[in-house]
Amino acid sequence: MDIGVVSRSFPKMTNEEAAAFMAEHGFRWTELCFSQTDSNYWRYNGRSDVSELTDERCRDIVATYRSRGVEVASLGVFTNLLEPDEAELAANLAYFERHMQIAANNGIPAVATECGFIPGKRGISADTYESAFQRFIDNVRWLAARAERYGVAIALEPCVLDVVPSAKRTADLLDQVGSPALKVLLDPANLIANSSEEDMFRYLAPHIAYFHGKDRKVNDTYGRIVGDGDIRWPLFLDLYHRYTEHVPFILEYVNADNVCGVRDRVLAFDRANKE
Give residue-wise pLDDT tens across range 215-244.
Answer: 999 999 899 999 999 999 999 999 999 999
Which pLDDT belongs to residue 9? 98
- Are β-strands 71-76 and 110-113 bridged in parallel, bridged antiparallel, or unpaired? parallel
Say what the pLDDT of residue 113 is.
98
Nearest Cα to Cα of residue 226 among 197, 184, 269: 269
At residue 275, the pLDDT reads: 65
Residue 36 buriedness (CB in 10 A; 0-12 / 13-18 / 19+): buried
Q: Report the mean per-residue pLDDT for the chain.
A: 96
* Domain architecture of the chain: domains with CATH: 4-272 (3.20.20.150)
- Residues 255-267: tens digit of each pLDDT: 999 999 999 999 9
**pLDDT above 80 for 273:** no
The pLDDT tens digits for 181-217 are 999 999 999 999 999 999 999 999 999 999 999 999 9
Residues 6+ apart with CB under 8 A from 265: 225, 226, 227, 233
pLDDT for the residue 246: 96
CB-based contacts of 122-130 (< 8 A; 24+ apart in sequence): 122/161, 122/162, 123/161, 123/162, 124/162, 124/163, 124/165, 129/163
Which pLDDT score, from 0 to 100, does residue 272 have?
87
What percent of the chain lies above the pLDDT cut of 70?
100
pLDDT at residue 160, as a whole number: 95
CB within 8 A of 177, min separation 6: which ones?
137, 140, 141, 144
Give the strand pairing for 39-40 and 35-36. Answer: antiparallel
